[in-house]
Chain A
Amino acid sequence: MLDEKNITSSGSSETQYQEINDLLDKNQHYKEGFFTSTHVETFEKGLNEAVVRAISAKKNEPEWMLAFRLKAFKHWQTLDEPHWAKAEYTPLDYQDYSYYSAPTCGSCDTEEGSGSEQEIDPEVAKAFAELGVPIMGEDANIAVDAIFDSVSVSTNKREDLSKLGIIFCSFSEAVQDYPELVQKYMGTVVPYHDNYFAALNSAVASDGTFVYIPENVHCPIDLSTYFRINEAKTGQFERTILVADKGSYVSYLEGCSAPVRDTYQLHAAVVEVIVMDDAEVKYSTVQNWYSGTDDGEGGILNFVTKRGICEGKNAKLSWTQAETGSAITWKYPSCILKGDNSIGEFYSVALTNRRQQADTGTKMIHIGKNTRSTIISKGISAGFSDNTYRGMVKILPSAEGARNFTQCDSMLIGDQCGAHTFPYIEVENATAQVEHEATTSRIGEDQLFYCKQRGIREEDAISMIVNGFCKEVFSELPLEFAQEAEELLAISLEGSVG
């Protein structure tokens, strides 16, 4: 067994890897970096109680939702912006952001709200088409909720799914159509006072996805949400709730991107997942937010609170993430393993390049008996970036026979970047088994030379080696997503246009 806290860290000094750095520097192509020009309604910059009320009014929300927002807002005002992560940013001016922006379709007949498949703004539809997001239901194997700035603009395959009793709609719609479900679950896993950004999100939540899988239903297709930040200086504060009732199964995917902007954009999401007895949820994310320039100008600040609870016995929750974008990522998808024999998994690939900073990891809280958790984290740092794994495994006294396995590997490309590992382990039950393995390696000159001596180009060699390093995690992603993740890695590394 390991020490309670074990910190490894490696950075470096000289420049024998100049060639690799040069190659990586070429990466200035972010093909998702286009801007869609359409009619939008955007709130004036600024944040105060009137803005919170206005967002709620805009969405025609019931009183209880407004009350939740206001409570959160009051609490948020008492908090200080956190700066403990291994990522540096100047304190944000929250008055300099707009907290609501939505396309208003000029050419559409009806003005009322969003959601149905007919009324999507053609410019917005074009943007999603360009991003390869099948919002019109053209892909039979996936249902998509597309979110553009503050609102959901399209949710397809709803009707088909509803025949199975599955609810898959935007969060705003859920507030209108399923108020009792939203009230029952919202804030139960991530309370409004959980942390600074969760409080902010609870106050100004824009849109998000709501999923409910009824008892014993195996969701036949992947459900997914694609997040697009378009407007400058707009925050996106999505709120997603996913409930898998007893004996059900769902695979949920999330993708995201944003135009190239020269100032930071804030993305502070809250995701709550509730998994009942014998149910299973696979939650996969491919995060490709704009990461800023070589000098660290602009990019998305990705401050996200994702947490799930395995409520019932034999429940299983897997988080799989491929994080390649954002200027700063601050994200710890976590599992509360409350039900006996429940299982939590976290598979993560985080790649940072240029001036990106990622502080990411997970928390596994073992409460129930014989609960098991697995953490596989692969961090790749290149350029001048910093990549930190921060994870906690906590075994409570009640968690008889709990087990955790953690493997945490870092790879450095070049010698100007850093990789850091902060595992926190707290064991309060003597029958628990906790295993932790960590490695740090550098893409070796020897490995590269070996590849080149066999005729393989340097950029192909690097992406082959990096993909090999990430294999264990990518094999957890749904096939198409795994491919996308591999391609993203290659693009982030090579700088070629996809």
Chain B
Amino acid sequence: MLLKIENLQAQIDEKQILKGLNLEINAGEVHAIMGPNGAGKSTLASVLAGKDSYEVTDGLVNFDDHDLLDLSPEERARKGLFLAFQYPVEIPGVSNKLFMQTAVNAVREEQGLPALDMFDFDEYAKDKIALLDMHPDLLERSVNVGFSGGEKKRNDIFQMALLQPKLCILDETDSGLDIDALRLVANGINSLRSAERSFIVVTHYQRLLDYIKPDFVHVLYDGKIIKSGGFELAHELEANGYDEIIKQHQQA
């Protein structure tokens, strides 16, 4: 098992957001997480990535035989956990290329591989640029500065392709993408699928899921997973919304 979350509880500014969340993910699986606004989806992603404004109050998370909650954010990243942000951050003055070269070399260091210099990196990045049809200009520009919303998302997936993580967490990567970009991003994700790599895809819409066909769909509500199913659950949600499922959950 690549990721096992047991009874995860977390709070921010004294407000409990995750209230005993359980989730198991095997290598190679794609899990979609859906749920209404404010349910705690981004919180889950942030807690897994180790953002320190969140306090984990209870629970266990095992990631690839490591106690995940024991690791610093950069250690988690180096061990193969990747988060594509709902709102990618801008870093003025730092070129996207330098940023990604530094990141790739950080992961390579962890794997005992030699660092890539600028030339090696250019070579390595080439087909990833093609895969996401990135404008070459975007590599020279400052990280996400002046990028359109869609370009930022695409840039995050480009980073994911470069870093070759074991677990990819995508937080609403599909929102704000035009139809062509959505297909490119979906292609990017599909081309990274492998028997060793797993995905958590947070989304509000079925469109992305139609492209990537998740193995499981979960509904996150009020800090817990209240329903899990196969791809068909996504269709059901798209048709009926969350009301029915939430009601059932509250009655139980």
Give the B-binding residues of A (Cβ under 8 A).
19, 444-447, 449-458, 460, 464-465, 467-472
Interface status of B142 (Cβ within 8 A of chain A): yes
Q: Which residues of B contact A445 (CB under 8 A)?
A: 53
- The list of the 4 closest CB pairs from A to B, nearest first, reads A468-B93, A455-B106, A468-B94, A454-B103
Q: Is the CB of A452 within 8 A of B72?
A: yes
Q: Is the CB of B98 within 8 A of A453?
A: no
Interface status of B9 (Cβ within 8 A of chain A): no
Interface string of B102-123 (1 = CB under 8 A from A): 1100110010000000000000
Q: Which residues of B contact A447 (CB under 8 A)?
A: 89-91
Please provide the chain B residues from 140 to 180 with a CB less than 8 Å away from any CB of chain A in the complex: 142, 159, 163
Stretch at the interface among B77-85, B130-138, B202-210: B77-85
Q: Is the CB of A455 within 8 A of B78?
A: yes
Among B73, B90, B92, B94, contact of A453 (Cβ-Cβ < 8 Å): B73
Q: Which residues of B contact A471 (CB under 8 A)?
A: 93
Interface status of B20 (Cβ within 8 A of chain A): no
Interface status of B88 (Cβ within 8 A of chain A): yes
Shortest CB-to-CB span from B93 to chain A, Å, is 3
Shortest CB-to-CB span from B179 to chain A, Å, is 28
Interface status of B74 (Cβ within 8 A of chain A): yes
If A449-B73, A464-B98 touch, whether A456 touches B106 (CB-CB below 8 Å) is yes
Interface string of B47-58 (1 = CB under 8 A from A): 001111100000
Q: Which residues of A contact B94 (CB under 8 A)?
A: 464-465, 467-468
Q: Which residues of A contact B76 (CB under 8 A)?
A: 453
Q: Which residues of B contact A454 (CB under 8 A)?
A: 77, 99-100, 102-103, 106, 159, 163
Q: Is the CB of A469 within 8 A of B93?
A: yes
If A454-B77, A457-B74 touch, whether A467 touches B106 (CB-CB below 8 Å) is no
Q: Is the CB of B85 within 8 A of A458?
A: no
Among A449, A458, A460, A469, contact of B102 (Cβ-Cβ < 8 Å): A460
Shortest CB-to-CB span from A441 to chain B, Å, is 9
Q: Closest residue to B142 on the A side, CB-wise? A: A468
Q: Which residues of B contact A469 (CB under 8 A)?
A: 92-93
Q: Which residues of A contact B110 (CB under 8 A)?
A: 455
30 A-B residue pairs with Cβ-Cβ distance under 8 Å, sorted by A, are: A19-B52, A444-B89, A446-B89, A447-B89, A449-B73, A449-B89, A450-B91, A452-B72, A452-B74, A453-B50, A453-B73, A453-B76, A453-B85, A454-B103, A455-B77, A455-B78, A455-B106, A455-B163, A456-B99, A457-B74, A460-B102, A464-B91, A464-B94, A464-B102, A465-B94, A468-B92, A468-B93, A468-B94, A471-B93, A472-B93
Q: Is the CB of A455 within 8 A of B74?
A: yes
In the complex, A454 Cα to B160 Cα: how many Å?
Answer: 9
Shortest CB-to-CB span from A447 to chain B, Å, is 5
Q: Which residues of B contact A468 (CB under 8 A)?
A: 91-94, 142
- Extra contacts besides A447-B90, A452-B50, A470-B93 (13): CB < 8 Å: A450-B89, A452-B74, A452-B77, A453-B50, A453-B77, A454-B100, A455-B106, A455-B107, A455-B110, A464-B91, A465-B93, A467-B94, A469-B93
Shortest CB-to-CB span from A322 to chain B, Å, is 15
Q: Closest residue to B80 on the A side, CB-wise? A: A455
Shortest CB-to-CB span from B59 to chain A, Å, is 21
